[in-house]
Amino acid sequence: MEVKPFEFTHLRENGSLHMVDVGQKGFTERVARAKAEVVFPEEIFPKIMDKDVPKGDFLACAQVAGILAAKKTSELIPLCHPLPISHIDISFQFIPERSLLEITAEVKTTAQTGVEMEALTAVSISALTIYDMCKSLHKGIKIENIRLVYKRGGKSGEVILE
């Protein structure tokens, strides 16, 4: 089996950047799921779980922020294509034994390119919003483990990473 050299898809031969032309690709349903973790100091985690935060409903605010972020990904990441997003879901799960809140974003579209960056942007901005809403309780809050966990659609088909 011949191994092809790695090609940089966003670079021209002269080294300049360009947006990849997806015009010849077929429209397929694309789904991506990403996760992030917000780790809280143990002494404030009970307040977080009780949603006892001076700035108010941090989960609702983070959910809306994540949705908006997914919709604006192509404005934030220079070479991302604007996509017609058909669905965005942002969910949260408290994991008390680790003093953390796990954020999951699932994004769907029917388009010529995937929504991995939209899902990753959604969890990132949700996590930053939670930090902003909770930082008055403690400055030691950490955002960790931002990652793609699932994608489906396009040439690579289904990819399960977690």
Kindly list the catalytic residues.
132
| CA 159/CA 150 separation, integer angstroms | 6
Which residue pairs, CB below 8 angstroms and at least 24 apart, start in 5-11? 10/79
79 touches 20 (CB < 8 A):
yes
| CA 144/CA 141 separation, integer angstroms | 10
Tokens representing residue 81 in the block: 């294509």
